[in-house]
Amino acid sequence: MALKKIYLENFTVFDKMEIEFCDGVNVLIGENGTGKTHIMKLLYAACQSAHASKKVISFPQKIVQVFKPDHANISRLLSRKTGNGSARVHVTSGSNTLKTSFNLKTKNWDAEVVGAQAWEKQLSNLTSTFIPAKEILSNSKNLVNAINVGNVDFDDTYKDIISVASVDISRGPNNAQKKKYLQILQDITDGKVRYENEEFYLLPGNQAKLEFQLVAEGMRKIALLWQLIKNGTLEQGTVLFWDEPEANINPKHIPALVEVLLNLQGDGVQIFIATHDYVLAKYLEIRMADASKIRFHSLYKKEGRVEVESNHNFKDLVNNSIAEAYNKLLDEVFEQTTKG
């Protein structure tokens, strides 16, 4: 069941906002500090809390674990403009809405939750995956244990992605589609992923395995996607959140990356991406055959508030910081050329 909508009130940078999503690819754009990653983390926390009966993690507790506020206190996520008001987060999937609210008096993650039982019943089998902007698999050895005992301080998105990627056994045989996606990515990385002794390696053909730390960061990100497809994490009915997938990836590989993402969407994976990259956003727009399966959400600041504009077409967004920066560059290039 796809995520349909999020409503935010007095949460971090947001005063009041509602965003409706498509069940295909949702692309979040906007300047730094407009809350793109915050939205994806909230959606991810909602998805993960659907397994609360198995993992004993509530929606507000998972919010705390992915945001890591001081003293594990959810009240620190209250908008600084609010004063003594309350923050509210509502996430909707199908006919069910999961709600949480808290204020300055809320301790730890003891926030009010409404709709959790119906939410768990509907989404208990949902698999959701969050790929953080910073690559972490190259430092995976013993990291999860260190996080669990409090020796290092990473938010849950890092711990979770290591746990998910470390599943090195495919859930079933590779069908023709999966083989196609794996080969596209393998052509970029020149190798396959192997996980052994709590470490990730790249196997480049017949050569000796390479520790992930010896592989370029952009290649490690592509290899991670390969691993998630290989082990069956990204299949029909799952949700992928990817923060800045373009970071450290050579632009020439973006078309292939987009091809794989759009094919995953076609197979029934709902995708959320936060990006600052014109090339990635534009390729997603022009390569998507069905415009109803993609939606661009532009977050922008107006009179001190974060607002949102959504459109199925990237080029039709009025508030588009990526296109504005790109057009400014083209203007300067043209001006310099004409001075020639």
pLDDT tens, position by position, 222-270 = 999 999 999 999 999 999 999 999 999 999 999 999 999 999 999 999 9
- Bridge partners (DSSP) of residue 100 are 89, 113
Handedness of CA 318, 321, 322, 328 (dihedral sign): positive
pLDDT exceeds cutoff 90 at 54: no
Q: Is the pLDDT of residue 52 over 60?
A: no
Of 331 and 51, more confident = 331
**Of 161, 67, 152, 151, nearest in space to 109 by CA:** 67
Residue 89 has pLDDT above 60, yes or no: yes
Cα–Cα distance measured from residue 325 to residue 309, given in angstroms and rounded to the nearest whole number: 18
The pLDDT of 105-120, averaged and rounded, is 94
- CA gap 140, 175 in Å, rounded: 29
Beta strands in 40-191 (DSSP E): 86-93, 96-103, 112-114, 128-131
Domain 1-127+238-340 fold is Rossmann fold (3.40.50)
Q: Which helix (H) or strand (E) holds 274?
A: strand 270-274
**Comparing 40-44, 89-93, 147-151, 214-218, which segment has the lowest mean pLDDT?**
147-151
For all residues of the chain together, what is the average pLDDT? 92
122-175 pLDDT tens trace: 998 999 999 999 999 988 877 777 777 777 788 999 999 999 999 876 666 678
Q: Where are the CATH 3.40.50.300 domain residues in the chain? A: 1-127+238-340
What pLDDT, on the 0 to 100 scale, is given for residue 139? 85
Give the N- to C-terminal CA distance of the chain in Å, as an integer: 57
pLDDT of residue 260: 97
Q: Model-level pTM?
A: 0.95
160-169, 183-192, 280-289: least confidently modelled range: 160-169
